[in-house]
Amino acid sequence: MFSIIQINQLEALAIDSAEFKAIILLQGAQLVEFSTTDHPNNWLFVSEANEFALGKPIRGGIPICWPVFGAFDKNSEAVKASFPEPLGQHGYARSEIWSLKSTETEQNSAIACFELNTNNKPHLSATVIFRFSSEGYSIELVTQNNEAHSISMSQALHSYFPTSDIDNTAVSGFDIVEYIDTLTANWESKTQQGDILFSGETDRIYQAGSNCDIKTPEAVFTLSADNSNSTVVWNPWIEKSKGLSQFNDEDYRKMLCVETANALDDAIMLAPKASHSLKLSCKRG
């Protein structure tokens, strides 16, 4: 059921059962494909522009943004104070090669566990556990603080969902939830009314976990999140798409990101030696 495959320069774990298939790149421990017999098209958007080259984060699937989400200087003071040097956008986990720790099968599901341990300061380690079945997938990101002092960090499971038509795509579950509109000069706080629809560049941090339905012409993806109180909703739209790496100009019509996060005030404060688990589960109807 488990095999190591090569996609251009990148190694990946492929999981192939009678009921579901999955591919996870070792670079970034990034899930880039999941499908089931009932729903055989990839449940995740992956741009055809990707080169699958070492050190170039893949645009699509579920990049892991860790141990900071977004631009370093937009993080809380506590997060910024926890790192001796500013980190790059979305942290370093997505460009690192993770180690595959274990694979197992359990009833009708498959489980794969990856670890990232670097010498970066502060010394944090990450473990990600994927669980797959004919019902869907889950991804659990566990952060361990190996230091003898507290550390504040932010993160996101930056999921890219596919749609055939962004104009006929909606996200429900955030009615009357407050969000930060990061496209306004002062990051204004606004309140969502009804479903989230897409008609222009969208880059928002909702102050609620991603317990929602993503409704596209092909599918409804039902998400549930644990230990997250922030959800990023992103579509780059026309102009920004032209400057994005590993992305075609028209790809914005075929994707949306709904990111299960701990961002802004929802950053995690890890006590010495403590750990935190962030989890996303996805089913499809």
State the nearest-atom distance from the C-beta of 27 to ligand BG6, in Å.
Answer: 14
The CB-side HSE value for 186 (13 A sphere, CA atoms) comes to: 3
- Based on CB atoms, which residue is closest to ligand BG6, 63 or 173? 63
CB 279 within 8 A of CB 226: yes
Minimum CB distance to ligand BG6 smaller for 1 or for 183 = 183
How many residues in the shown chain lie near ligand BG6 by CB under 6 A? Answer: 9
What residues numbered 151-180 form the site for ligand BG6, per CB under 6 A?
158
Q: How far apart are CA 227 and CA 33, in angstroms?
A: 25
- Please tell me whether residue 180 adopts helix, strand or coil conformation: strand
Nearer to ligand BG6, 98 or 160 (CB): 160
- Residue 203 interacting with ligand BG6 (CB under 6 A): yes
CB of residue 90 vs ligand BG6: minimum separation in angstroms? 5
Q: Which of 232, 258, 270, 280 binds ligand BG6 (CB under 6 A)?
A: 232
Question: Which of 25/110 has CB closer to ligand BG6?
Answer: 25
Asked if residue 234 binds ligand BG6 (CB under 6 A), the reply is yes
Give the whole-angstrom CA distance, residue 155 versus residue 263: 6
Q: Pattern of binders to ligand BG6 over 9-48, x per CB under 6 A?
A: ----------------------------------------
Backbone angles phi, psi at 7, to 5 degrees: -120, 105
- Separation CA 234–CA 159 (nearest Å): 10
- Residue 43, token pair as written in the block: 């449940």
Shortest Cβ 158–ligand BG6 spacing (Å): 6
> Kindly report the CA angle at 65 between 64 and 67, in degrees rounded to 5?
120
Handedness of CA 100, 149, 153, 71 (dihedral sign): negative
* CB closer to ligand BG6, 89 vs 168: 89
Q: What is the largest CA-CA distance in the chain?
A: 51
Q: Which of residues 79-138 bind ligand BG6 (CB under 6 A)?
A: 89-90
Is 184 one of the binding residues for ligand BG6 (CB under 6 A)?
A: no
Closest-CA residue to 126 (of 68, 81, 79) = 68
What's the CA gap between 205 and 149, in Å, rounded?
29
CB of 183 to ligand BG6, least distance (A): 9
User: Which residues lie across from 31 on neighbouring strands?
Assistant: 24, 62
- Tell the residue number behind the tokens 């102009």, with chain if given: 239
Among 33, 251, 259, 266, binds ligand BG6 (CB under 6 A): 259
Least distance between ligand BG6 and beta carbon 67 (Å):
15
Question: Quick one: 160 or 221, whose CB is closer to ligand BG6?
Answer: 160
Q: Could you write out the DSSP letters of every residue in 146-162? A: -SSS-EEE-EEE-PEEE
Please say which residue, 183 or 197, places its beta carbon nearer to ligand BG6.
Answer: 183
Residues that bind ligand BG6 (CB under 6 A): 70, 89-90, 158, 203, 232, 234, 244, 259
